[in-house]
Amino acid sequence: MWDLIVIGGGPGGCAAALRAAKGGLSVALFEPREVGGTCLNRGCVPTKALLHGAGPGCDWPALAEETARVVSTLRAGQEKQLQAARVQVIPHRAVVTGPHTVEAGGETYEARNILIAAGSVPARPPSPGWTPRRGHQRRALSRHPPRNRLVIIGGGVIGVELAAVWAAAGCQITIVEALDRLVANLDRELSQGLAMELKKSGVEVFTGASVSRIEPGPAVVFTHKGAEHTVSADTVLAATGRRPATEGLFADGAAPELERGFVRVDGSFRTSIPSIYAIGDAIGGAMLAHKAEAEGIAVADLLLGRAPVRGTAPIPSCVYTSPELAQVGLTADQAKAGGVPVVTGKCVLGGNARTLIEGGKRGFVKLVFHKETRALLGACLYCCRATDLISELTLAVSLGLTAEQLLRPVRPHPTFAEAVSQAAEAGLEALERG
């Protein structure tokens, strides 16, 4: 009998397994594919490596090789850590057959607790004519960029990052997005800035556009502002979101409560079956690696009887285009919609020394403060290193720091971080004005 069985070796499952094993629990981790999950093998890491190296005239086979090297180095490190912590990695797909039992590779395994960290898989676009090829996601990140013309259905984070990679390779790209803006889960100004930048690099963007069918060829047929458009392409990429990988995960009668396929959990990540926990993409919410990891660590601490040290909210969101986008907490629109009184403080980076030195693009830092408590509720960044700068603001939001407290540290010059001080000052002025 294992203390803990973890199903899925992505960032959530690995973090939980390592923490629990280091704390003295016996842990078996089931993973039929590569350790590291979507994030390391098909998601976060390869896309960021490609975005880092992509550019006019870049040597694509060399970039793909470098990307593969980064992935395999990280994977080897992860495998070593699991081995050192004595986590037993079992290379089989697991099926939960009861509150304490799992079947895999023809054998039954028992555990005091089971953690579902099975992640997610690409959602199929609801368009007639869509015939996915197996492994299309991995191929999307492989050696050869599409020859000439690419249509991306879906303008969420994955769609826009891949558009940025291939636009840099000189492909003609069309993004077709059903909602009224790109990355619609982020602040409106971030969406506008991103759309402008993509258009400048030659990407055609249709928002509020509904794909009616995909014709052989292939060609994507969609309606936009009442007119029908047809765009033919060498390649069509669906980036229409992801769905939980819970199909076939539970034997009949052994499933905890699910909601649209996502495993339902309480505030401690416990499912409707007390011995079964679930985390990461499989439970929905922000489908992000750092969320999965934080939740995995929280569950391990809980099983070890430790007070949780790592938080699980707020979760920052990042887009690694140029300039980068990052956001945490509430946007001003969300606050207003929820009846929360807020003011914003904004700094445009046109006059930021570091931006000018590095020839960076114009951007902004926008902070959202509660009008009465003066606490920072949220932050949106559109600038170089936004994805690093957001950590300082995530700390500030999680501690409920006020505008005055945000202004206490002296930030070094010349840095992008100086814009945080300036935005906080603008926020303070807005608060004083009432």
Q: Residues with catalytic annotation? A: 413
The tokens describing 384, both together, are 């170089």
From the list 22, 23, 33, 88, which residue makes contact with ligand FAD (rule: CB under 6 A)? 33
- Least CB distance from residue 165 to ligand FAD, whole Å? 10
Segment interacting with ligand FAD (CB under 6 A) among 1-9, 177-185, 370-378, 412-420: 1-9
Residue 354 CB, shortest distance to ligand FAD, in Å, is: 24
The interface region with ligand FAD, picked from 5-13, 77-85, 340-348, 393-401 by CB under 6 A, is 5-13
Q: Does 43 bind ligand FAD (CB under 6 A)?
A: yes
Site for ligand FAD in 47-76 (CB under 6 A): 47-48
Task: State the binding string over 244-283 for ligand FAD (x if CB under 6 A, else -).
Answer: -x---x------------------------------xxx-
Token representation of residue 167:
């636009």
Q: How far is the CB of 98 from ligand FAD (least distance, A)?
A: 15
292 binds ligand FAD (CB under 6 A): yes
Q: How far is the CB of 301 from ligand FAD (least distance, A)?
A: 17
Identify the CA nearest to 332 among candidates 195, 190, 187, 185: 187
Select from 72-80, 216-224, 287-295, 411-419 the region that touches ligand FAD (CB under 6 A).
287-295
Of 283 and 406, nearer to ligand FAD (C-beta) is: 283
Lay out the site mask for ligand FAD across 117-146 (x = CB under 6 A, - = otherwise). Answer: xxxx--------------------------
Residues in Cβ contact with 297 at an 8 Å cutoff, skipping those fewer than 6 apart: 15, 16, 19, 308, 310
Nearest to ligand FAD of 280, 378 (CB atom) = 280
Minimum separation from the CB atom of position 370 to ligand FAD (A): 27
> Residue 53 or 427: which CB sits closer to ligand FAD?
53
Among 94, 114, 299, 365, binds ligand FAD (CB under 6 A): 94
Q: How far is the CB of 75 from ligand FAD (least distance, A)?
A: 11
All residues at 6 or more sequence positions from 59 whose CB lies less than 8 Å from its CB, including other chains: none
Q: Is the CB of 168 or the CB of 288 nearer to ligand FAD?
A: 288
- Pick one of 2, 9, 273, 301: the residue that binds ligand FAD (CB under 6 A): 9
Q: Closest CB to ligand FAD among 321 and 344?
A: 321
Q: Which two tokens stand for residue 336?
A: 């207003």
Number of chain residues interacting with ligand FAD (CB under 6 A) = 36
Angstrom distance (rounded) from CA 393 to CA 399: 10
By CB under 6 A, tell whether 323 contacts ligand FAD: no
30 binds ligand FAD (CB under 6 A): yes
The neighbouring-strand residues paired with 366 are 346, 380
The residue ranges that bind ligand FAD (CB under 6 A) are 7-13, 30-33, 37-39, 42-44, 47-48, 93-94, 117-120, 158, 245, 249, 280-282, 287-290, 292
